[in-house]
Each structure stands twice: as C-alpha cells, then as structure tokens.
C-alpha cells in the first residue's frame, strides 16, 4: 500500500472509513487512487441538509471471484450450523427412552422429552431467530454468528448436567435460542460472501447438511446408549457432548471468517469493507494462481440507521407482498410434508410393519442419506436450469410421490423396506425444495432486512412444523388405523403441492443474479440522489 502524501489524505481516509465524503473532487480522486477502486462520490446537497452518498463496486467484485480455499473456509466455518441442528434433534429423540428409565439420573418421562422438551426447543429457536435476526441487521453478521454459537455451546454443555425435568427444559430452550439465532446470522452472511453464479448449489448443500448431523446423531446414540460401554446415567449425557466438541471446532474456524463487506458498506464503513474485499481478492488470486476477472457494475447508497421490527415488516409486506406470500407458502408446505413423514415414521414402522423399536434407527439413517443426497445431486440445477423451475418441480414432485405412497399404503402393498424406499424418494426431492425455501427468502429481500426476513420465515416454518404439525399428525399416526395415517400423508402432500404451484406462479428467477439486482437495498439512490423505488 502506498504512503499517504499529506494530512489531507489521512483525513480523507478517516472520513471514508466512517462512510463520509467530501465535496471537493480532489478528495475523491485521492481516495480512489489510494484504494485502487471507485469507493465514493461527492455529496448530494439540498437547500437544508447535506447527506453522503457512497458508490461502490464491492458486490460485483465479490460475485466475480473464482471458487477457492477462501470460500471453503467460509463454508466450513458458517455452513455447519445445520449439522448441529440435525444432531440436536436426532440425539434428543434417540435418548428419550434412556432418560426415562430408572437409574438415568433424571426424573423425566419419555413423553416429556419428545413433546414438552421438543416444543420448548422450537419455541427457543423461534425467539432466538427473531431476536438475533434483529441484532444481526443492526450490529453485523460476524458479531452475531460468534455470539449465537457461544450461546448454543454453553446451553448444550450444561444440558449434560441436567438433574430435573425443568432444568432440562430450560437448557433446551436456550439451545434452541442459539440455533435459531444461527440461521439468521449464518444464512445472511453466506449469501453475501458466496459468488452469485453458484449461490444456489452452495446454499442447498449447506441447508441439506442438517441430515448429516441427523445421521451422525443416530449412529452415535446407538454406541453411547449401549450399557455395555457406558452406564445408564452417563451415555445420554455424553451424547450432548458431541455437539459441544463439533461446535468448539467450528468456533475456531469462525474466528477467521470476515464480516460481510456488503453489510459494512451499507452502514458507511467503506474503508473496512474495502480492506475485507481487497484481502479476499489477494488471497483468492494467490490460491488460484490466475488473474481475477474484471468486476462490472456499481451501486449507489446513502447509509441509514438500522430498521426496527415494525419498519421491516411494513417494508417487506408493502413493497414485496407477492414475495412474502411466496416465502410463507414454501415454508408452510415443506413443514407439513416433513412432519407428515418424519414425525411418526418410527410409530408407523413398529405399528404397521412390526419393526422392533431398536431397529428403527437404521431405517431413519437410510432416509437421512436420501435427504442429504437430494440437495447435493440436484443443487447445481438450481443455478443452471433455474430457481423457479427447480423449486416448483421438487415441491410438486415430492407431493405427487407422497400421494402415491399414501395410495400404496392404503392398499396394503408396502413392507417396511418399500415404505422406507418410498419415503426416501419423496424426501430426496423435498429436501432440495425445502433447502431452496431458505435460499429464496435469503436472497429476494433487501440487504437491510435480510437477516430479520430469514428469521421471520424460519420462525413461522419452525413454529408450524414443531407445534401445529405434531399436534395434527400425532393423533392421526398414533391411532393405529391405516386411513388416519393415509390422511396424514395426504395433508402433507397437498400442502407441498400447493406450495409448488405458488412457486410456479409467482416464483423469482434469482439464478446467477446479484443480490442487489434481486432486491435493491432500501438505501439505494440514483445519480440524482433520489431513493430508488
């Protein structure tokens, strides 16, 4: 970096780092020469006030970066939140029976673990998503994705020392609180750092990794609950330690993940944003050994204060009503389909196919593999064929397959193996579609509202999936009657299919497009300084 020639230049840099500008064109020339990029333009003045406008090419420079180890570090550091969630949900389900036994060291029933504790975890996730989502848009992505992981780690570690039901419930609330906050901070950061041309496949793989955690939790629980290796009051406690170990590793990696330059620029911290992008460019160029392609396009913004809940809700609903309907439809549809299948899968296998309780985990592992392979194998099509076609196809396709499964089940033509095969096929498509629901709401709303929008739709989907779904499907699946279970399948299939039709009608073609072209920041201005509608 060249030496600043005089105090004037030093003051320019300080003003630029604060998101300010100067009216003298020479100042802008010094800043551009110093940074090597067009960072700011002169102020737009009115008769009564002076407000700064920043013009930056940071989004274009991030989107044109080739894939490198720099991106892998971000992916590992941030994307593993879904593995933790899958791990948590599966472990609690698997250790419920052991915790309810005498000698476990805690007075709690199986029903309390699988219903009350599950509902408390969901409530914590919803509250955490909204609370941390609001803070993420105000304070930045990096601050919050460090805090949310720390909350999760502390709550999970303390859970292992539970001695009463109420203490266990409290720990589960704060574990969910941390996980819910992770979604808002992590998904917004990933989308703002990953190049537009591959954003779809990366997001789908990240979201689909929930099932990697589910499979790890299922197999680890088998070993930890084996009384030949661990005492009855120890194995289930060690199971919660898996998340702590994995979380600590992730925390170490996250220390090196930068703040989102898009968020920094939006809040007037252009000097910091420029340094993050310049460092990324230097690192990627060294790792790939090739010159970086040219970046094309700039945006002009006028930094503004953070928005509150009411302002975000008003902005999203009034400016993007169709997109709000789309997000709700996608989240509600996938929540009901998943609950119609996964909530009572073990009961269905044991009740209708006489599968021993101890063997249901193996069937679940097969389902988990199918869930993960869907986003991995289909993810690239969401960037090439396109979001609208692929999301509608996976939603409608999984709905139709579940209708077919219900029909075969009603006719008595399925065995435990073929039923599992049907579920795996359904969820192969559904997992890709459901992952794309998270992708959709994270890229079709303005940057200022991104984290809170992710939090809102996540909270709605999680609340419906974790509260309404179980209340509806528990009675149907547990009745032991084939028609009731068939009805549960049909409800999930119908809502998933309907969501697919909504996507086909009003979906957004977001593939390979920058986030700013999909939804301009609320602080965007045109050449005259007027707000962009």
Tokens of 50: 């002076």
> Does pLDDT of 393 surpass 60?
yes
CATH of the structural domain 69-303, one choice from 1.20.1250.20, 3.30.70.260, 1.20.210.10, 3.30.70.1140: 1.20.1250.20
**Which among 336, 424, 429 is positioned nearest to 377, based on CA atoms?**
429
pLDDT of residue 277: 94
pLDDT of residue 529: 64
Q: How does pLDDT run across 417-470, given as a tens digit for each residue? A: 999 999 999 999 999 999 999 899 999 999 888 888 888 888 888 777 666 776
301 forms beta bridges with 54, 524
> Does pLDDT of 101 surpass 60?
yes
For residues 356 and 353, what is the distance between their CA atoms, to the nearest angstrom? 9
* pTM given for the model: 0.82
Comma-separated ranges of CATH 1.20.1250.20 domains in the chain:
69-303, 308-511+520-533
Higher-confidence residue of 113 and 324: namely 324
pLDDT of residue 530: 65
**What's the pLDDT band for 18 if we cut at 50, 70, 90?**
very low
pLDDT of residue 141: 84
pLDDT of residue 324: 93
Q: H or E segment at 45?
A: strand 44-45
Q: How does pLDDT run across 270-290, given as a tens digit for each residue? A: 899 999 999 999 999 999 998
Architecture label for domain 308-511+520-533: Up-down Bundle (1.20)
Mean pLDDT over 61-75 rounds to 92
Tokens of 258: 């930068």
**Which among 479, 346, 371, 500 is positioned nearest to 435, based on CA atoms?**
371
For residues 509 and 389, what is the distance between their CA atoms, to the nearest angstrom? 9
pLDDT of residue 401: 97
pLDDT of residue 501: 98
For residues 185 and 147, what is the distance between their CA atoms, to the nearest angstrom? 10
For residues 60 and 277, what is the distance between their CA atoms, to the nearest angstrom? 11
Mean pLDDT over 83-92 rounds to 80
Packing angle between helix 482-506 and helix 387-410, nearest 10 degrees?
160
Q: H or E segment at 228?
A: none
Q: How does pLDDT run across 322-379, given as a tens digit for each residue? A: 999 999 999 989 888 887 777 667 778 888 888 886 677 788 888 889 999 999 999 9
């Amino acid at each position: 970096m060249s030496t600043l020639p005089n105090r004037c230049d030093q003051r320019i840099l300080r003003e630029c780092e604060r998101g300010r500008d100067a009216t003298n064109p020479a100042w802008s020339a010094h800043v551009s020469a110093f940074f090597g990029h067009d960072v700011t333009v002169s102020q737009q003045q009115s008769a009564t006030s002076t407000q700064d406008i920043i013009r930056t090419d940071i989004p274009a420079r991030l989107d044109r970066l080739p894939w490198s180890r720099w991106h892998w570090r971000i992916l590992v550091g941030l994307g593993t939140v879904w593995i933790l969630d899958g791990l948590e949900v599966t472990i609690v389900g698997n250790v419920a029976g052991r915790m309810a036994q005498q000698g476990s060291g805690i007075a709690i029933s199986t029903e309390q673990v699988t219903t009350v504790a599950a509902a408390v975890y969901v409530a914590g996730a919803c509250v955490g998503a909204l609370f941390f989502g609001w803070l993420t848009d105000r304070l930045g992505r990096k601050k919050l994705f460090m805090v949310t992981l720390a909350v999760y780690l502390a709550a999970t570690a303390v859970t292992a020392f539970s001695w009463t039901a109420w203490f266990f419930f409290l720990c589960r609330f704060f574990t969910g609180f941390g996980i819910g906050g992770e979604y808002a901070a992590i998904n917004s950061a990933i989308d703002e750092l990953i190049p537009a041309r591959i954003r779809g496949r990366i997001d789908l793989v990240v979201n689909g990794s929930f099932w990697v955690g589910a499979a790890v939790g299922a197999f680890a629980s088998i070993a930890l609950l084996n009384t030949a290796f661990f005492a009855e009051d120890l194995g289930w406690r060690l199971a919660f330690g898996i998340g702590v170990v994995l979380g600590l590793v992730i925390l170490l990696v996250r220390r090196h993940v930068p703040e989102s330059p898009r968020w920094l620029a939006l809040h007037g911290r252009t000097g910091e944003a420029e340094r993050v992008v310049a460092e990324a460019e230097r690192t990627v160029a060294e790792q790939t050994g090739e010159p970086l392609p040219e970046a094309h396009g700039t945006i002009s913004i006028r930094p503004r204060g953070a928005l509150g809940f009411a302002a975000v809700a008003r902005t999203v609903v009034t400016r993007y009503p169709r997109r709000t309907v789309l997000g709700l439809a996608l989240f509600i549809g996938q929540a009901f389909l998943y609950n119609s299948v996964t909530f009572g899968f073990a009961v269905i296998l044991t009740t209708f196919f006489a599968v021993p309780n101890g063997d249901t985990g193996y069937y679940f592992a097969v389902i988990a593999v199918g869930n993960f392979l869907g986003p991995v194998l289909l993810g690239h099509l969401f960037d090439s064929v396109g979001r609208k076609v692929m999301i509608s196809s996976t939603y409608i396709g999984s709905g139709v397959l579940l209708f077919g499964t219900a029909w075969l089940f009603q006719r008595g033509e399925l065995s435990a193996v073929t039923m599992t095969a049907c579920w795996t096929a359904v969820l192969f498509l559904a997992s890709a579609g459901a992952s794309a629901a998270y992708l959709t709401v994270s890229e079709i709303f303005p940057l200022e509202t991104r984290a809170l929008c992710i939090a809102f739709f996540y909270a709605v989907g999680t609340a419906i999936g974790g509260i309404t779904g179980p209340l509806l499907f528990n009675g149907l699946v547990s009745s032991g009657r084939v028609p009731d279970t068939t009805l549960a399948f049909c409800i999930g299939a119908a809502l998933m299919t309907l969501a697919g039709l909504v996507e086909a009608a009003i979906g957004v073609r977001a593939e390979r497009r920058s986030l700013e072209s999909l939804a301009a920041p609320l602080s965007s201005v045109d050449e005259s300084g007027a707000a962009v509608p």
